[in-house]
A and B are shown apart, each in its own frame.
Chain A
């Protein structure tokens, strides 16, 4: 079975603090993909990043960085120097079943990040 766990339901920080959102996944597939999506208060789901299971290199994009560790089945997301505009619900998601007809993007329950001015 595939599962994504985001244990942090809600995080509140003050602007300019760094914050890390945790994501732990379960899958039996050897090839899979991990994603992060952002859902701002307006409600749309915005794609942030995709990682495949063979690429454990950490990635940095501006104030965002991602730490993928297969040994702990984690794909954590860090926002450096948070801003009020970062306030949103962040979802981690897993796509497994590589190449087959059973591909499903399974989402975690999301972490609500509130950045206070």
Chain B
């Protein structure tokens, strides 16, 4: 059974460019999470969705970040315009019944470098 699939695995871009990260959750999971991992701040929750609806985006750093989940099998995290401080590993995770303690299954991450 396929796990959470993220693309691209690595992205190098220049400051000011638009970046789109993609995630395909595990089929049947109803919650999807975007996390960012940096050395300075550790693992931060950016946003999460329940049944394709954004529930809490309080972790999104600023208006340059946006996330969508147009259907149950796909989500995007977009940064426009990107800045060097956005360099990080971005993880997508999905869960079945996260509200009752279901574990999160993580993708392999997308490593973003903004020059």
Contact = CB atoms under 8 A, between A and B. Distances in A.
Band of interface residues on B: 20 to 34
Given A99-B99, A101-B55, A105-B33, A47 B104 contact: yes
Secondary structure at the A interface, as helix, strand, loop or mixed, is loop
Band of interface residues on A: 20 to 34
Given A98-B99, A103-B31, 7 more contacts: A44-B107, A45-B106, A47-B104, A102-B55, A102-B56, A107-B42, A110-B42
A108 B45 CA distance: 12
A28 to B, nearest CB: 17
B91 A45 contact: yes
A104 B45 contact: yes
Interface of A: 33, 35, 37, 43-45, 47, 50, 52, 91, 95, 97-110
Secondary structure at the B interface, as helix, strand, loop or mixed, is strand
A105 B104 contact: yes
Contact of B43 (A52, A99, A107): A107
Interface string B49-93: 010000110000000000000000000000000000000010101
B45 A95 contact: no
A98 B50 CA distance: 14
